[in-house]
Amino acid sequence: MSRNADNWLLKVTDLTKIYGEPNENTLALTGPEYNSNICPETDSIVACANISFDLYPGEVLGIVGESGSGKSTVVKLLYLDMEQTSGSARFMPYIDGSINMLDASSQKKRYIKNYLMGMVYQNPRDGLNFNFTSGGNIAEKLIMAGNYHVGDIRARASDLLIKTEIPVLRMDDQPVTFSGGMQQRVQISKAIANDPPLLFLDEVTTGLDVSVQAKVLDLIRELQQDLGITMIVVSHDLSVIRMLTDRTLVMKNGRVVEGGLTDQILQDPQHEYSQLLVSSLL
């Protein structure tokens, strides 16, 4: 398939989120050069600023950086979990990318989230309703996207559980009775239930033991290979980034300090912070 320069799925431009009351110096006085995201004049907090990138169909983009660097903020803004201070995101599946989806009405945003995106959080409790069964959680996502046929929903739920290696027998059990790795796989099933064109994964293997991590990573890689889902993967673990992503953005103090091909970021990091990150973690 040939690609032209405009063949993006998601185009993010100058995405910025600031908490508090910034002034005109806030952006100039924060960032990696100051090793801070707190504006010294206004005490406002720059969670992320001027984030721009294009994501192509089928691509897996990694975002790495230390705690507080703004990785999750970027994902939450794009998943429409919070409102941006400024900036835009155009998303091809939503009105052919012609408008900024971040400014859509809340009803339209619900549509985008339910039909066009999936999200897997670090903590399964953020993505799953623990009062529902595992099948019920998947059904919830399907119902929100307009599927009401119980038989179809159960059939789809059991397909997804098989795909994510959860015994179908446990479809009617609550995730609270599942292990951490199983919960994470139920969360992934729910996130991909509607075949979303874009999937966000926020620190999905953090806190899982290595063998369980391996299973979750293998599942994500299979989804990527077999379904070609476009993904944004947030992680502070460079081995996760290496295994899953084509391109990587390195964030520090709310800014992208470097972006490039993942093998380049890992083998020839340019920015001081990327060099520190790679040397600390390899």
Partner 1 sequence: MNILEVNDLSKAFHLHILNGKKITALKNINFSMKEGEIIGLTGMSGSGKSSLMKCIYRTYITSSGQIMYRSRSGMIDLVKADDHKIIELRKNEITYCSQFLSVIPRVSAVDVVCENLFRIEKNKAHARVQAKNMLENLGLPPELWDAFPVTFSGGEQQRINVARAIIAKPRFLLIDEPTASLDARTKDVVINMLLKMKDSGTSVLVVSHDEYTLAQLTDRRIELKAGEITVDQMVTNENIS
Of 45 and 240, the one with the shorter C-beta distance to partner 1 is: 240
Using the 8-state DSSP alphabet, how is residue 116 labeled?
Answer: I
Of 43 and 268, the one with the shorter C-beta distance to partner 1 is: 268
Q: Which residues within the stretch 171-210 sit at the binding site for partner 1 (CB under 8 A)?
A: none
Of 84 and 245, the one with the shorter C-beta distance to partner 1 is: 245
Instruction: Say how far apart CA 280 and CA 15 lie, in whole Å.
Output: 29
- Please, what is the minimum distance in Å from the beta carbon of residue 150 to partner 1? 34
> Contact at 8 Å (CB) between 175 and 137?
yes
Binding mask 227-246 for partner 1 (x = CB under 8 A): ----------------x--x
> Contact at 8 Å (CB) between 55 and 8?
yes
3 state DSSP class of 34: coil
Of 119 and 220, the one with the shorter C-beta distance to partner 1 is: 220
- Per CB under 8 A, the list member of 54, 66, 159, 173 interacting with partner 1 is 54
Q: Which residues contact 253 (CB under 8 A, 6 or more apart)?
A: 30, 31, 32, 34, 35, 36, 37, 46, 68, 69, 70
- Per CB under 8 A, the list member of 19, 56, 115, 132 interacting with partner 1 is 56
**163 lies in the site for partner 1, by CB under 8 A:** no
**9 lies in the site for partner 1, by CB under 8 A:** no
Q: Which residues within the stretch 252-271 sit at the binding site for partner 1 (CB under 8 A)?
A: 259-261, 263-264, 267-268, 270-271
Q: Which residues within the stretch 206-225 sit at the binding site for partner 1 (CB under 8 A)?
A: 214, 218, 221, 225
Instruction: Say how far apart CA 110 and CA 71 lie, in whole Å.
Output: 22
Instruction: Say how far apart CA 212 and CA 209 lie, in whole Å.
Output: 5
3 state DSSP class of 274: helix
Q: Which stretch binds partner 1 (CB under 8 A): 2-10, 22-30, 42-50, 193-201?
A: 2-10
- Please, what is the minimum distance in Å from the beta carbon of residue 98 to partner 1? 21
> Which value, to the nearest 10 degrees, does the dihedral of the CA atoms of residues 135, 147, 202, 20 take?
-120
- Per CB under 8 A, the list member of 2, 98, 105, 107 interacting with partner 1 is 2
Of 133 and 253, the one with the shorter C-beta distance to partner 1 is: 253
- Please, what is the minimum distance in Å from the beta carbon of residue 272 to partner 1? 4
Q: What does each C-alpha distance from 19 to 43, 45, 51, 105 come to in angstroms?
A: 9, 5, 16, 22
Beta-strand runs (E) in 27-162: 45-55, 60-65, 86-91, 117-120
Instruction: Say how far apart CA 160 and CA 202 lie, in whole Å.
Output: 20
> Contact at 8 Å (CB) between 127 and 121?
yes
**41 lies in the site for partner 1, by CB under 8 A:** no
Q: Which residues within the stretch 58-117 sit at the binding site for partner 1 (CB under 8 A)?
A: 59
Binding site residues, partner 1, CB under 8 A? 2-3, 5, 54, 56, 59, 214, 218, 221, 225, 243, 246-247, 259-261, 263-264, 267-268, 270-272, 275-276, 279
